[in-house]
Structure 1
Amino acid sequence: MPVSRLPERGRVVCQGHIESVTYMPADRNAAFTAIVSDPDIRETGAKPAQGTGGRLRVVWLGRRRVPGIEAGTVVRLEGMLSQSQGLPTMFNPRYEILSRQENE
């Protein structure tokens, strides 16, 4: 399921492009956050479906980094979806790396 078509809550499996990651400073609680969007929205500029804005926040609690999760990576995510600070959010999801952007 694309990120732009996610329901408001519940268990979901979705696929998207990691747009950005956020690293927490050492003096804060360990958490690694990524913003995931639909690859087709990013590439074509198409408008996302109403509701999610075409973006999903993914948070891994208790971790400062998640191997393989970096901007440019396409991932499949599975987990419970909730709303947090105005964005659909998934905490500690299962993930599968589908492809990576090659460095030139």
Structure 2
Amino acid sequence: MGSLVGWFKKLTSDEAELDADALTEEADACGAQRAAVCCQGQRVTLQGRLRYVDLRPTEGQAKLVAELFDGTDGVMLVWLGRRSISGIEPGRTVKVRGRVAVRDGQKVIYNPDYDLLPAHA
């Protein structure tokens, strides 16, 4: 019965929902936490796809900002003092480790450790 429900869900879901489900399954398979349930002060390992990457200089200091989406929620990744990082680009799958902060209602990890992963990790 479960496979019939899964088949029907795939048939009736849009591409974005299916992509989010796939990202969540990949993160679960590697033992990463879900972004939707992590909270401020918690040390986490997350895995997902970078939705965007942006350079935001502020008062003379470079700040590279990316959003990681794991299928459940987005988390901002901020590398202070960096203008670019080879391999950190939109669409790239990454695994990150760091401590969650919350700024302006958004989950943020500053200077996370990261591993670049193949497109289908």
TM-score bracket for this pair, using the shorter chain length: 0.7 to 0.9
- State the partner residue of 2:50: 18
Cα pair 2:57 2:63 within 8 Å, conserved: no
TM-superposed deviation, 1:3: 2.0
Report if aligned partners of 2:43, 2:97 keep a CA contact under 8 Å in 1. yes
Say how many residue pairs are matched.
88
* Residue from 62, 87, 93 that aligns with 1:30: 62
Paired residues for 1:1-104 under 5 Å: 1-25=33-57, 28-38=60-70, 41=71, 48=72, 54-100=73-119
Q: Structure 1 regions of 5+ residues with no counterpart?
A: 42-47, 49-53
Percent of pairs identical after alignment? 30
Relative to total residues, which structure has the larger helix share, 1 or 2? Answer: 2
TM-score (norm 2): 0.65
Counterpart residue type for residue 29 of structure 1? Q
- State the secondary structure of the residue aligned to 1:17: strand
Would you say the 8 A contact 2:61–2:81 is kept in 1?
yes
**How far apart are 1:2 and its partner, in Å?**
2.6
RMSD: 2.0
Larger radius of gyration, structure 1 or 2? 2
Whether the 8 Å CA contact 2:40–2:107 is kept in 1: the answer is yes
Question: Post-superposition shift, 1:27?
Answer: 7.1
Relative to structure 1, the CA distance from residue 65 to residue 82 in structure 2 (aligned partners, 3 Å threshold; closer, same or farther) is same
CA deviations on 1:71-98 (whole Å, 9 max, x unpaired) are: 0011100011110121100000100011
The higher relative CO (CA closer than 8 Å, separation ≥ 6) is in 1
CA deviation after TM superposition for structure 1 residue 9, in Å: 2.5
Which amino acid is the alignment partner of residue 106 of structure 2? Answer: L
Scaled by the length of structure 1, the TM-score of the pair is: 0.74
